[in-house]
Every structure is written in C-alpha cells, then in structure tokens.
A and B are shown apart, each in its own frame.
Chain A
Amino acid sequence: MNIIVCIKQVPETTEVRINPETNTLIREGVKSIINPFDLYALEEGVRLKEKFGGKVTVVTMGPPQAESSLREAVSLGADEGVLVSDRAFAGSDTWATSYTLSCAIRKIGQESGGFDVILCGKQASDGDTAQVGPGISTFLKIPQVTYVKKIEEIKEKSARVERMTEEGYDIIQVPLPVLFTVVKEINEPRLPSLKGMMRAKSAKLITWSGKDIQADPNGIGLNGSPTKVVKIFTPPPRTGGQMLRGETPDIVGKLVSELRSEVH
C-alpha cells in the first residue's frame, strides 16, 4: 500500500504577535512543530503500512527549514520525505497550496506506482482552515472523507471508515485511492523510537521546486491565490472580569442573578 501523509510545519504556540509597523507576523524565536493533527495522520499512515505493507511518504510544502519536520516524521515511522519548496510558493492561500501539493502528490504517484491513501490532518493550527485536504482530493479527482475518526477496514481496494459529525458519526464505504482528513480520536501517536531517530538523521530527503512538480506558474503563490489578505489585526485581548467572593450561598446567589437574563 502506498501511503502519502501531508504534514505542515507550524509555530509551536498560537501566541503569535504582529509587528505593528509592517503588519506581518513575528515568527522569530518561536519554535516550529509538526501541526498536531498531522501527527495523527502520520501515525495512521504508519499503522496502515504495518498492517498492509508498502511505504509511507511524507510531503510538506514550506520553506527549507520545514525539512526538520520531515526528519521528525521519519523518526516516527515514515519511509521517505519530500519537501516542496520554492520562493514562488510564497503567499499561497488554500487554493494554491492544494494545487501545489496535488502536483507533488501526482509526481510521487508517478514515481512509485501510484498511491492508495492520502492522509491529512483535520486542520492546521495556524490557519485553521480545514480546506487543504479536500482541495487536494478535488485537484486529484479522487474521493475524500473528512473528519475520519476510525478506519474500520480496508480490503479489495475499498475502505470502510467512520466520519465524525456534530451528532455522532457516519459510516462510509469508499474506493481507493482516497484522501482522508483525520481527527485526534483516530489513534494515539507513538513516540519516536531510537532506531527511528537514527534513521531520521541519515534519511535522504527529496526537495522539489515548482518546476520539478510541473506546477503551472499561474496556479502557485500569491499569483495563484484567489484570496488576498487586506488587513491583519490583534483583537483586544480578553480581560478577566470580577472574582465573586464570600460564602457559597452568596456567591451562587450573585452569579445566578447576573446570569438570569441569559438563561431561559
């Protein structure tokens, strides 16, 4: 089984600040990690490989330093890593990101006899859009199941999975190749193994440019992005209100009368 996992490198905390003069994010000094949801996607990919054989290729689109996330993914069980990196990708919105990743995945598929399952995280912690996964499957013209919380079974090129909904979950049968986006409930990611860390150090990673993946120059980066950010601002931070003090009956009485108009 050929499995592809899309991982994104994101800042460790969401406590980012903006430079008031340039209106851009201050990224210096913030450690980078693999997007938390993508670790679940990776773990699920590695488990599929352990069950069905094959290999796991991780792919990330980002600046050269995103390579460290690929190495980390190798230490967690991925076999190969592809960094898709090009100055021309700068300013990509979800349309351009999905397009670029789909070109890269097509190339991975061509070089390794196709692919069966593409795994993405539910959403990235910096952008929170949840649009890139479905975008990729649309460009590749393959089916998708989003918010997957369990892969029940895969046989004869068809998978049965559970998709989380607001009320519970749906059970869906879908033919391969397919793209899944996964939620945290799907598994518990393992920690890197010693062997994995050794492998990660020496792993040979591939880097592709826009040209390498034959991306249409009009479809990438700022040019290829239908949406444009016109303003970025920090909302006034939420500040604490009042502490209610006293004996329990007083506190409770006070709180109930404060909330009275909001409850029916």
Chain B
Amino acid sequence: MGIQVIQDKCTGCTLCVKTCPFGAVTVVKKKAVIDLHKCTLCGACVDACKFKAILLEKETVQKSSVDISGYKGVWVFAEQKKGKVQSVSYELIGKARELADKLDTYVGAILLGHSVEDQAQELIWSGADTVYLVDAPQLANFQDEPYTTVLVELIRKYKPEIVLTGATFIGRSLVSRVAVTINTGLTADCTGLDIDKEKKLLLQTRPAFGGNIMATIVTPNHRPQMSTVRHKVMPLPISDKHKKGKVIKEVFSLDQLNSRSKLLDVVEEVENLVNLAEADIIVSGGRGLGGPENFKLLEELAQVLGGAVGSSRAAVDAGWIPYSHQVGQTGRTVAPKIYFACGISGQIQHLVGMQSSKIIVAINKDPDAPIFKVATYGIAGDLFEIIPSLTKEFKKILKV
C-alpha cells in the first residue's frame, strides 16, 4: 500500500497539485511531493497526471486473516479527566476481572495522561494485573489523534483479545477511530457482557431502538473484540489493598503524539456539577413546572439527595434549562438508581432515555399520563405541593 512519485517521469507541471482535494501535493524543485499526512490515497492525482508519474497501490481491505489465537488479555481504557480516573472505568475493571477469570487470562488497564501515575495503584487494587502507562504533556487532556495513535500502537504490540471502554463522549469518539484503524469490530453502548465458554467469544448485549430491542453481538474473526459500555450497569469492584500488579511505562515520540486539532480551552458549566450520566439519582422536570424559576424546586431536592437535575425536551425547547440536561432520544440516555419525573407526560421519546432506571417515581397531575405506565411509584398530584414536602422529609431523615 502506498503512493509514490516516479521522479524520472514527473515534469513538475502542477496538474496534480490542482486536482488534489486535500492539498496534499506540492511541487518542490520541479518534482511533485506528496504529504502523506494529508493524502487519503484517493487517486485523483493519478488520473490527472498526463505522464503516468504517480503510482498508487491501493490497500485492499484485508479481512479475517488475523490469527486470533495469539490474542490474550482483557483490557480497559482507563478514562481520566483532570488526572482522575472516571468511575465508569472502575466499573469496567470489575467486569474485566470477571471476564478474564472466565478466560483464564489477565486484566490490563490503559492509562494515558500527564502526571497520572498515582492513579495506577487504585486500578490495580480494583482488579487490574497490569497498568500500561503513557505519561506525556500532550496526553493531559483527551485529543482524538494522539490518543488513537497510542491506543492503536499498544494494541498492536500487546495483542489483547478484548478492549472495553466507557460509552462516554470521549470513549465513543476514541475507540470508533481505533477500531477502524486496526480493522476490528466495535459494539456500542453495551449493557451486558459475557463469555461464550465454548467458542471463547465475548457476547456483547446492547439495546437498540431506544431499548425496545436488545441485540447480542459477537466479533468472531477479528481481534481485539471491542465494546463501549454504558455507565452504571456494571457494579463498582471492591478495592483490595493486598492485590499486586505491575505498571509498564511506554514512551511515544513527539511525532506520534502530534494532533492536527488543538484543544484551546476546557469550559465547565457550573450548573452541571453533578454529571447526569454518573448520577445515582436524577430529578427531572418537564413542561409541568410552568417556568424556569421552578427548576429551583428540583435543584433543592436533587441537592438533598446528592443527585443531578434532568429535564424533558419541552423544558429545554422553552429555554428553561440548558440542553445538556435533556434526557431522551435527542438528549442523554440515563439509568440512575432513582429517576424522578416531575411534570413530565412520558412521551416515548422521553421514555427511551430513562426507562432502564432502577426505580422511577412519577409525579403528574394527570392520572392518565403515560409516564405512569413505567413508574415504579406513581403519584397523581400537584408537583408544587409534593416536591417541597418530599425535600423536607428527606432533609429530616438524611440530616442535611
């Protein structure tokens, strides 16, 4: 695979420069030079060249030729933000441990960041046997390209049979790139993982059509088998301070850590302090709140319970609360322990975003509101009366 300019034939006419859709060709000293970083091997220049001076060998997409028996180990991408590994990654370490025990292999954690070595210990205590650590200033914050390069290189070097990643904003962007680059399958947003003992395959179960259908998916002939996994569906492992493991440090060149996109700033929105995806309790409001000021009622309850505030789309569209709080088909999918739906009618587009919550409490004036069809506890009543009273009662028993 590759592209090359046959020096003898090139006349420096610049026809190829003009045709290249990617601006990848320049003429230096009367010869065409192709910048492989920009070139996508599209072949436009080959057709344009009147002198047959450009040679392109197209990579044939090769399939199923991997020897899958050479792949061992269950890996977890340990997502860190501001130097702290996220809870979903620990949940996955716990799951990886279980899968690795069934396969009689080891658990690896991939930790990329800057000055993050202190996080390795907890990963080991949670169940990792080996932590692969890549520490570099360029990796302090997530960036698609360097993170992809590093993960791809590590996978090529150590050949894990399974790679799990949280189905977070970062995880989904990153491993989609990685899976295509190393030519393997990726199953999104799994809620169940198990091993087919006979075939030694990872069984990946995930919801589709907003949870109305479940599908179990395998990657039979490619390795590693990769999945992103939803928050909060795997239990957190118990930390064992006697557990031993090793840390392997890997070093990458500046070139490999290069990123065409540059992160200029990280903005945290104050009202988002409790992350919806990670919250154990979510108090959501809809059009029934009647106005933006009334979200305060929900904030008070959420605060007492240590939860986050969510909303229906109607409340977002009315401009009462930012989009980042929206739950549902065109917002976030959440599955907390308790989901309070206050003044939300329960249209299907909202339900698909929250119906896998453990407990659903619905408060709605209308006793026929569809939300009651999925509610564990339904209250047909006025939220303005019930919410403040709930807040008060919880405050009492939780002593906050």
Does B378 count as interface, using CB distance less than 8 angstroms? yes
| Count of chain B residues near A, Cβ 8 A | 107
What residues of chain B lie closer than 8 Å to A175, measured between beta carbons? 260-261
**Among A16, A126, A226, A256, which residue has its beta carbon within 8 angstroms of that of B184?**
A226
Interface of B, secondary structure class, is: mixed
Report yes or no: A14 in contact with B209, Cβ–Cβ below 8 A.
yes
Contact with A along B249-292 (1 / 0, CB 8 A): 00000000000111111111100100111101100000000000
> Quick one: given A114-B21, A224-B61, are A138 and B264 in contact (CB under 8 Å)?
no
**Among A166, A172, A228, A233, which residue has its beta carbon within 8 angstroms of that of B217?**
A228
Interface of A, secondary structure class, is: mixed
Report yes or no: A126 in contact with B209, Cβ–Cβ below 8 A.
yes
Does A9 count as interface, using CB distance less than 8 angstroms? no
What residues of chain A lie closer than 8 Å to B22, measured between beta carbons? 114, 142, 177
What residues of chain B lie closer than 8 Å to A223, measured between beta carbons? 63
Complex CA distance for A18 and B267, rounded to whole angstroms? 44
Report yes or no: B265 in contact with A226, Cβ–Cβ below 8 A.
no
Does A84 count as interface, using CB distance less than 8 angstroms? no
**Among A165, A228, A241, A260, which residue has its beta carbon within 8 angstroms of that of B169?**
A165
Report yes or no: B269 in contact with A167, Cβ–Cβ below 8 A.
yes
Docked complex: B1-38 residues within 8 A CB-CB of A = 20-23
Does A146 count as interface, using CB distance less than 8 angstroms? yes
Report yes or no: B21 in contact with A263, Cβ–Cβ below 8 A.
no
Report yes or no: A226 in contact with B264, Cβ–Cβ below 8 A.
no
Nearest CB of A to B219, in Å? 5
Report yes or no: B381 in contact with A231, Cβ–Cβ below 8 A.
no
Complex CA distance for A241 and B378, rounded to whole angstroms? 7
Docked complex: B216-259 residues within 8 A CB-CB of A = 216-222
Report yes or no: A131 in contact with B213, Cβ–Cβ below 8 A.
no
What residues of chain A lie closer than 8 Å to B148, measured between beta carbons? 138
Chain A, residue nearest B351 (CB): A238
Chain A, residue nearest B180 (CB): A138
Does B136 count as interface, using CB distance less than 8 angstroms? no
Nearest CB of B to A121, in Å? 10
Chain B, residue nearest A10 (CB): B209
Report yes or no: A168 in contact with B266, Cβ–Cβ below 8 A.
yes
Docked complex: A146-191 residues within 8 A CB-CB of B = 146-147, 149, 160, 162-175, 177-178, 183-185
Does A21 count as interface, using CB distance less than 8 angstroms? no
Complex CA distance for A150 and B141, rounded to whole angstroms? 20
Does A113 count as interface, using CB distance less than 8 angstroms? yes
Report yes or no: B189 in contact with A173, Cβ–Cβ below 8 A.
no
Complex CA distance for A224 and B60, rounded to whole angstroms? 12
> Quick one: given A14-B212, A25-B213, A224-B63, are A241 and B188 in contact (CB under 8 Å)?
no
Report yes or no: A170 in contact with B208, Cβ–Cβ below 8 A.
no
Nearest CB of A to B265, in Å? 4
Complex CA distance for A168 and B325, rounded to whole angstroms? 11
Nearest CB of B to A238, in Å? 5
Report yes or no: B267 in contact with A171, Cβ–Cβ below 8 A.
yes
What residues of chain A lie closer than 8 Å to B393, measured between beta carbons? 252-253, 256
> Quick one: given A164-B324, A241-B376, are A264 and B188 in contact (CB under 8 Å)?
no
Query: Which range contains the number of A residues in contact with the other chain?
Result: 35 or more
Report yes or no: A233 in contact with B214, Cβ–Cβ below 8 A.
yes
What residues of chain A lie closer than 8 Å to B215, measured between beta carbons? 229, 231-233
What residues of chain B lie closer than 8 Å to A231, measured between beta carbons? 215-216
Report yes or no: A143 in contact with B145, Cβ–Cβ below 8 A.
yes
Report yes or no: B378 in contact with A243, Cβ–Cβ below 8 A.
yes
Report yes or no: A135 in contact with B176, Cβ–Cβ below 8 A.
yes
Nearest CB of B to A122, in Å? 9
> Quick one: given A13-B348, A173-B261, A230-B216, are A238 and B355 in contact (CB under 8 Å)?
yes
**Among A95, A125, A239, which residue has its beta carbon within 8 angstroms of that of B329?**
A125
Does A73 count as interface, using CB distance less than 8 angstroms? no
What residues of chain B lie closer than 8 Å to A263, measured between beta carbons? 281, 305-306, 338, 394, 398
Complex CA distance for A16 and B348, rounded to whole angstroms? 12
**Among B61, B214, B331, B380, which residue has its beta carbon within 8 angstroms of that of A99?**
B61
Chain B, residue nearest A132 (CB): B176
What residues of chain A lie closer than 8 Å to B221, measured between beta carbons? 226
What residues of chain B lie closer than 8 Å to A177, measured between beta carbons? 21-22
Chain A, residue nearest B265 (CB): A171
What residues of chain B lie closer than 8 Å to A260, measured between beta carbons? 397
Chain B, residue nearest A25 (CB): B213
> Quick one: given A36-B330, A262-B337, are A227 and B217 in contact (CB under 8 Å)?
yes
14 contacts between A and B (CB under 8 A): A13-B348, A94-B176, A94-B188, A110-B21, A128-B189, A143-B144, A184-B331, A230-B216, A231-B215, A232-B215, A238-B355, A243-B367, A249-B389, A253-B393
Q: What would 11 more interface pairs be, CB under 8 Å, given A144-B144, A238-B373, A252-B386?
A: A25-B213, A106-B42, A138-B177, A146-B169, A168-B324, A171-B263, A175-B261, A216-B61, A228-B218, A231-B215, A263-B306
Closest 5 CB pairs of A and B: A114-B21, A226-B185, A134-B176, A227-B185, A14-B210
